[in-house]
Amino acid sequence: MMILTVSHRTVYRYAAPVRGAVQSHRLTPSAFDGQRVLDWAVTVSGGIPGGSFRDGAGDVVQGWSVRGPVDQIVVAVAGRVETQDLAGVLRGHREVTPREAWLRETAATRPDRALAELAEAAAAGAGDALAAAHRLSGAVADAIAYRPGTTHPHTSAAEALALGEGVCQDHAHALIAVARLRGIPARYVAGYMLAGEGPAEAAHAWAELHVQGLGWVGFDPANRCCPDARYIRLGSGLDARAAAPIRGIARGGGGESLDVAVAVAAAQQ
């Protein structure tokens, strides 16, 4: 068991003042047996909180609005979460979306021939669904080297595989693509990770695959493991865009720049 502290600050700067903005946040840690929120606060500079609801996937979605004119918006997250290692199993998580809904492809996860060949080769001879899931995750890790700066937010799974390089977002998209090819429901997960040795950053992403008999199980090809007590789960979606912790739109203004700083630390218990 661990207690993790999170500091997450996102600054939107605009070339010209905007008349206002609306945002949708998935910044509340998930409620399940593997993590418990001790304290958590999200603030938006000049922000007015709107409606909040829990969607079909069990994620808390909070709306915000900002009245202009403003030339920057700061979203700050701070809190502590108690976590424990459940070997990646999402036990005790309440949701109502049928697992079949997670078989739908998106532009980011649409498979090509290379992904289909990878899926077939990786899952061949697997004794059961869990073994197949582990093999698929390992195959993605082998096929896409972790190398920041080689891909961009709109890179697809097929493009990352062809390049042979990418980051955690690309690993997650590729694993989702090959899992769905094998008939395994899969989804993208956004969250945080306590970075140590290996390819990890504080703002992190991985995939969850629905394994018969176990339910949803997380797999992190970038670190060749299943999520453990070092991870904080925020929310899920069909791909990175759908699972984004912050989504929004500004009215008016010119160009926009974005600065993000995330720090995750282990608190002394």
Q: Which residues contact 156 (CB under 8 A, 6 or more apart)?
A: 107, 108, 109, 110, 173
Q: 223 CB contacts (<8 Å, ≥6 apart)?
A: 193, 198, 199, 200
Task: Note the pLDDT of residue 254.
Answer: 75
pLDDT value of residue 200: 59
Predicted local distance difference test score (pLDDT) of residue 126: 81
Whole-number pLDDT of residue 23: 98
Dihedral angle computed from the Cα positions of residues 99, 216, 187 and 143, in that order, rounded to the nearest 10 degrees: -130
On the 0-12 / 13-18 / 19+ scale of CB atoms within 10 A, 249 is exposed
- Please report which helix (H) or strand (E) contains residue 116, including its range: helix 113-123
- The reported pLDDT for the residue numbered 10 is 97
Write down the pLDDT at residue 198.
54
Q: What is the pLDDT of residue 195?
A: 83
The pLDDT score that the predictor gives to residue 127 is: 82
Domains, the chain:
2-82+245-266 (2.60.40.2250), 87-242 (3.10.620.30)
Going from the first residue of the chain to its last (269 residues), give the mean pLDDT of each consecutive group of 10, the final group possibly shorter. 96 95 98 98 97 97 96 97 98 97 98 98 89 97 96 97 97 98 97 77 94 96 96 98 96 87 87
Which distant-in-sequence residues (6+ apart) come within 8 Å of 249 by Cβ?
Answer: 21, 22
The amino acid at 234: L
